[in-house]
């Protein structure tokens, strides 16, 4: 299946934040309930240990679901030795605030917009992008990786979508899941119920964006192809692949880049 760079509803600047937050609230819920990043977190944990990382800067953090997954699956984060700083171009502030208040030893956040294409130099730490790298075309995708290299920060990209018929079929079921789970998603918000039951834009947008996300997701070979053309990428070690989810023929596509130690 060829990669198609179509548009997603949640990327549109005109979209009211209450609808965008409704979409990312569902993603947070789905990631947490499905523990989708469990195996990937174990892989990431080894990298964080080897690199002696003390802070993760989560770009495109959405509702923060992957952050919770890391908290659950990486002991150093649970122990407060590695912090997670949440950022997004359209920050879901109620979700960020809820995570920071319930897990103050783990989460901090930037309330102002932070673009993954222009990470402020004061935000130091290992960069992560969960289920968001497909939002960027090849030029922007390379800009994100190149900036991590130029700032000498590690970077991990993990995508829960794939160009796989099973995942695309699953996206057609998501409106039903949104309708069933909306009242139980955190934080509770009347606006989400309004945009789910009164005017059901959230269930439609979750399915539409989910299908488009699958079609836009890079394969491990494409990710490595992007890296190969970036200046100084040879100064980093790269690992790309798919971390299977249970017995299913689908999984989390990942790319991890870490700076090679400099010669003494």
Question: Of the candidates 153, 162, 160, 167, which has an alpha carbon nearest to the alpha carbon of residue 256?
Answer: 153
Please identify which residue in the block is written with the tokens 């819920």: 29
Q: CA 198 from chain center: how many Å?
A: 29
Q: Which is nearer to ligand SAM, 48 or 61 (CB)?
A: 61
Which is closer to ligand SAM, CB of 142 or CB of 237? 142
Q: Which is nearer to ligand SAM, 22 or 66 (CB)?
A: 66
Min dist CB 70 to ligand SAM, Å, is 11
24 lies in the binding site for ligand SAM (CB under 6 A): yes
Does 131 bind ligand SAM (CB under 6 A)? Our answer is: yes
Instruction: Report the distance separating Cα 132 and Cα 140, nearest Å.
Output: 12
Of the residues 19, 21, 25, 27, which one makes contact with ligand SAM according to CB under 6 A: 27
Q: Which of residues 46-105 bind ligand SAM (CB under 6 A)?
A: 59-63, 65-66, 88-90
Distances, alpha carbon 256 to alpha carbons 85, 160, 252, in Å: 18, 15, 12
Q: Are strands 251-259 and 236-244 parallel, antiparallel or unpaired?
A: antiparallel
Q: Which is nearer to ligand SAM, 119 or 227 (CB)?
A: 119
Instruction: Look up tokens 């309004």; give the residue.
Output: 194
Q: Are 215 and 161 in contact (CB under 8 A)?
A: no
Shortest separation between residue 143's beta carbon and ligand SAM, angstroms: 10
Report, in Å, the least distance between residue 263 CB and ligand SAM: 35
DSSP state of 197: I
Shortest distance, position 73 Cβ to ligand SAM, whole Å = 15
Name the residue with the smallest CB distance to ligand SAM: 62
Strand partners, 252: 243
Cα 197 to chain centroid, rounded: 27
Binding site residues, ligand SAM, CB under 6 A: 10-11, 24, 27-28, 31, 59-63, 65-66, 88-90, 115-117, 130-132, 135
């Amino acid at each position: 299946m060829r990669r198609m760079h179509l548009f997603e509803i949640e990327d549109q600047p005109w979209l009211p934040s209450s609808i965008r937050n409704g979409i990312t609230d569902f993603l947070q819920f789905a990631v947490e309930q499905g523990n989708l990043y469990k195996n990937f977190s174990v892989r990431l944990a080894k990298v964080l240990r080897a690199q002696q990382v003390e802070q993760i800067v989560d770009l495109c953090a959405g509702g923060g679901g992957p952050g919770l997954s890391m908290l659950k699956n990486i002991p150093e984060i649970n122990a407060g030795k590695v912090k997670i700083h949440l950022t997004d171009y359209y920050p879901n502030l109620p979700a960020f605030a809820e995570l920071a208040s319930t897990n103050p030893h783990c989460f901090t956040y930037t309330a102002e917009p932070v673009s993954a294409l222009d990470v402020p130099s004061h935000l130091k730490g290992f960069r992560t992008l969960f289920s968001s790298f497909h939002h960027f075309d090849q030029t922007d995708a390379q800009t994100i990786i190149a900036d991590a290299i130029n700032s000498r920060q590690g970077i991990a990209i993990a995508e829960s979508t794939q160009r796989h018929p099973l995942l695309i079929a699953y996206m057609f079921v998501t409106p039903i899941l949104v309708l069933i789970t909306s009242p139980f998603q955190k934080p509770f918000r009347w606006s989400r119920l309004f945009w789910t039951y009164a005017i059901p834009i959230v269930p439609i947008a979750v399915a539409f964006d989910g299908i488009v996300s699958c079609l836009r997701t890079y394969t491990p070979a494409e990710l490595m192809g992007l890296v190969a053309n970036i200046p100084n990428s040879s100064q980093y070690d790269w690992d790309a692949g798919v971390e299977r989810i249970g017995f299913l023929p689908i999984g989390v596509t990942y790319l991890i880049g870490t700076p090679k130690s400099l010669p003494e």
